Amino acid sequence: GEDVEQSLFLSVREGDSSVINCTYTDSSSTYLYWYKQEPGAGLQLLTYIFSNMDMKQDQRLTVLLNKKDKHLSLRIADTQTGDSAIYFCAERSNYQLIWGAGTKLIIKP
């Protein structure tokens, strides 16, 4: 079946850039998403990208899509303590979302 993979943890220093990576298997995916989940909370959509785009920027967030390699990344510039959360990558495959396991972003002072 379709699969989405992410590393489980990323540790960065406050003020540095964070880059969270994701790989997926469904080459026919139309949309790819990044969701953020803070402790005890629901999932918040951060951004999404259509498969015919290779980059999308929104304030501190930059999404890069390499469709050939089926690789998606989320860059957070100037990482702050409030960015500490689990970040889920998801691809749209047929009628539903296929989720990665989530990357826990840890901010070091």
13, 15, 96, 108: which one contacts other proteins (CB under 8 A)?
96
Site for other proteins in 21-80 (CB under 8 A): 31, 33, 35, 40-45, 48, 50
Question: C-alpha angle 12/70/52, rounded to 5°?
Answer: 105
Give the C-alpha separation, 54 to 37, whole Å: 25
53, 77, 101, 106: which one contacts other proteins (CB under 8 A)?
101
Element (H, E) at 83: none
For residue 94, count other CB atoms closer than 10 A to its CB.
10
Binding residues for other proteins (CB under 8 A): 31, 33, 35, 40-45, 48, 50, 86, 88, 90, 92, 94-97, 99-102
